[in-house]
Amino acid sequence: MLGIERPLSCIAVLIAMTMTPANVSAQAQSPWEVNRAWNAALSEGDAATAKRLTSRTTLETEYWKRVKGIDGLIEIYREGRANWMPCSLLLELLNGSMATVAYQCPRRDGTVRIWEDKMVKEDGLWKVAAQYVKTIRIK
């Protein structure tokens, strides 16, 4: 034993703690990973993380006013959360500073929703452009 095992194990724990979706740098993440972290933040009521992962363009739109911002989206997620199951990626398309992420989310009632979210790169970081979200319900 060289006596370095304890400091190394502490470093490993600190690294693991900083790798949670809310703490991982959006720069190191793909658009899908950022989208998942954004959805998780809304589901968990983490307004600060959701806002950090939302594009500036979204924050300035009529859509944003209509849904009542982050708090409104959190409420929408809270209402439907019990019926949701894990989502899976269908498609991730990158085009410079724009990306499209399509994913499907089965629900406990037997329906499936397919979501298509637009992502934009702002200051080198992927952000969700929520005003362009599309959804299709499939039975």
Where does residue 91 rank: exposed (0-12), middle (13-18), buried (19+ CB within 10 A)?
A: exposed
Q: For the segment 20-69, what is each residue's pLDDT rounded down to a tens digit?
A: 444 444 446 899 999 999 999 998 999 999 999 999 888 888 888 888 88
Q: For the segment 88-126, what is each residue's pLDDT rounded down to a tens digit?
A: 999 999 999 999 999 998 988 888 888 899 999 999 999
Q: What is residue 139's predicted lDDT score, i.e. its pLDDT?
A: 66
Q: What is residue 78's predicted lDDT score, i.e. its pLDDT?
A: 84
Q: What is residue 19's predicted lDDT score, i.e. its pLDDT?
A: 35
Helix (H) or strand (E) segment spanning residue 85: none
Helix (H) or strand (E) segment spanning residue 95: strand 88-95
Is 82 within the bounds of a domain? yes
Q: What is residue 85's predicted lDDT score, i.e. its pLDDT?
A: 84
Is 36 within the bounds of a domain? yes
Q: What is residue 79's predicted lDDT score, i.e. its pLDDT?
A: 78
pTM to 2 decimal places: 0.73
Is 62 within the bounds of a domain? yes
Is 121 within the bounds of a domain? yes
Q: How many domains does the chain have?
A: 1
Is 39 within the bounds of a domain? yes
Read off the pLDDT band of 77 (50, 70, 90): confident
Is 3 within the bounds of a domain? no
Is 67 within the bounds of a domain? yes
Is 13 within the bounds of a domain? no
Which among 111, 96, 93, 102 has a CA at the least distance from the CA of 133? 102
Based on its alpha-carbon atoms, the radius of gyration of the chain, rounded to whole angstroms, reads: 17
Residue 82, domain CATH: 3.10.450.50
